Amino acid sequence: MANILVTGGTGRLGRALMPRLVAAGHEVRALVRRPDAVLPAGVETVSGDLGAASLGQPLASAAFEGVEHVIHLASGATDGQIEGVDLAGTSGLLDAVRAAGGAHVLYLSIVGIEQVAFPLYRAKVEIEAMLATSGLPWTSLRTTQFHELLWDVFDRPPPTPFLARGMRYQPVGCAEVATFVVDLLTQPPANGVIEMGGPEILESSELASIFAEVTGRPEPALRPAPTSTATLDALVTPNHREGRQTWRAFLEAQRGAGTL
Ligand SMILES: NC(=O)c1ccc[n+]([C@@H]2O[C@H](COP(=O)([O-])OP(=O)(O)OC[C@H]3O[C@@H](n4cnc5c(N)ncnc54)[C@H](OP(=O)(O)O)[C@@H]3O)[C@@H](O)[C@H]2O)c1
């Protein structure tokens, strides 16, 4: 049993992780920015906005006192706040953790971040460098795209399609990532990067056609292929197929649950 603080506990992965941490017998605290954040029973909430650090309002170190593991999932990518939340926010978070006496920081990163020039991926490269020089014990768990992310982008298509034609993906379910995170807490900090991925590698067009087949909806549109074929496999990790649930099985489970 350990004292754990989670950021991003209300997000896709956070919603799968929080109940598993509680069920494993940990003392769990969630750093949340909204007063109406919904968290499982037994989780203590502390308010804190990672984006406020860049505005001169540092996180209170008291939130981190007695904490052994900080599981850092929060990201401002959806709100276009990568500079303020991911970069400045993580820097402020590390300051607060150090001020409170230190803790193992377990960060959620993405497979292939060095190979794709998305702003979020560049930020994650910088954040891993921050962790490596933080003086704190750390682990960066790089996973492939979550089934739940693909579901969100296919279910509520943005004006520009999300997945690129010809790119290969290896999606993994949040439930399995959450279980993997809980298991990581039983091991010493990696002080480095660990990878985890889903069971199968599929091209974007296959993901789109399985979505159409299982849901009965039109096939989602794809972005043009990247200009360099060298990046087509950037987001997969063929030697890390820890996840068992396939994309089709995830969608069938959504259909079974009546969420389609
Ligand atoms: N999605 C994927 O496929 C994938 C794959 C690999 C790795 N990852 C990484 O895994 C992590 C979790 O991803 P996710 O998809 O679960 O994220 P998500 O659903 O977008 O959730 C983001 C979380 O960050 C919180 N947050 C945003 N701005 C904040 C702020 N200013 N202060 C405090 N909290 C703030 C949100 O809280 P609110 O509820 O208040 O909005 C939410 O809980 C991220 O680092 C992501 O890059 C994601």
CATH number at residue 144: 3.40.50.720
Beta-bridge mates of residue 47: 32
Longest dimension (CA), the chain: 54
Long-range contacts of 36-45 (CB under 8 A, 24+ apart): 37/9, 37/10, 38/10, 39/9, 39/10, 43/9, 43/18
Residue 123's SS3 state is helix
Please list the residues that pair with 45 across neighbouring strands: 30
Q: Closest ligand 1 atom to the C-alpha of 120?
A: 47
Q: How far is the CA of 14 from the centre of ligand 1 (A)?
A: 8
Range of the domain at 245: 3-256
DSSP conformational letter for 236: -
For ligand 1, pick from 5, 6, 7, 12 the residue to mutate: most ligand atoms within 8 Å of CB.
Answer: 12
Sequence-separated (6 or more) residues with CB below 8 Å from residue 43: 9, 18, 22, 28, 29, 30
How far is ligand 1, taken at its centre, from the CA of residue 34, in Å?
14
Counting atoms of ligand 1 from 1, which one is nearest the CA of 14? 16
Q: Please tell me whether residue 28 adopts helix, strand or coil conformation.
A: strand
Contacts of 113 (CB under 8 A, 6+ apart): 121, 122, 124, 125, 128, 142
CB-ligand 1 contact for 123 (6 Å cutoff): no
User: What count of other Cβ atoms lies within 10 Å of the Cβ of residue 256?
Assistant: 9
The percent helix, strand, coil of the chain (3-state, each to 5) is 40, 15, 45
User: Rounded to the nearest whole angstrom, what is the distance from the C-alpha of residue 135 to the centroid of ligand 1?
Assistant: 25
Number of domains in the chain: 1
What's the 74 CA to ligand 1 centre distance in angstroms? 4
Reference 171, options 144, 196, 149, 204; nearest CA is 144
Q: Whose CA is nearest to atom 14 of ligand 1?
A: 12
**C-alpha span between 3 and 195 (Å, rounded):** 25
If you measure from the C-alpha of residue 86 to the centroid of ligand 1, how many angstroms do you get, rounded to a whole number? 9
CA angle 201, 202, 203 (to 5 degrees): 135
Whether residue 76 has its Cβ less than 6 Å from ligand 1:
yes
Q: Which of 12, 20, 75 has the most ligand 1 atoms within 8 A of CB, as the residue to mutate?
A: 75
Q: Give per-residue pLDDT as tens, 188-207.
A: 999 999 999 999 999 999 99
Pocket test for ligand 1, best of 6, 13, 149, 167 (most atoms within 8 A of CB): 13
- What is the distance between the alpha carbons of residues 20 and 175, in angstroms, rounded to a whole number? 9
Ligand 1 close to Cβ of residue 45 (< 6 A)? no
CA of 10 to the centre of ligand 1 (A): 8
* Cα 8 to middle of ligand 1, angstroms: 5
Name residue 6's beta-bridge partners: 30, 71
Side chain identity at residue 25, one-letter code = G
- Between CA 74 and CA 107 the distance in angstroms is 9
Nearest to 40 by CA among 23, 65, 55, 59: 23
Q: What is the pLDDT along the chain (260 residues), one digit of tens a residue?
A: 999 999 999 999 999 999 999 999 999 999 999 989 999 999 999 999 999 987 888 888 889 999 999 999 999 999 999 999 999 999 999 999 999 999 999 999 999 999 998 999 999 999 999 999 999 999 999 999 999 999 999 987 776 788 999 999 999 999 999 999 999 999 999 999 999 999 999 999 999 999 999 999 999 999 998 888 878 999 999 999 999 999 999 999 998 887 77
pLDDT in tens, 65-111: 999 999 999 999 999 999 999 999 999 999 999 999 999 999 999 99
- 168-169 and 202-203 beta bridge pairing: antiparallel
Q: What is the residue with the minimal CA distance to atom 43 of ligand 1?
A: 8
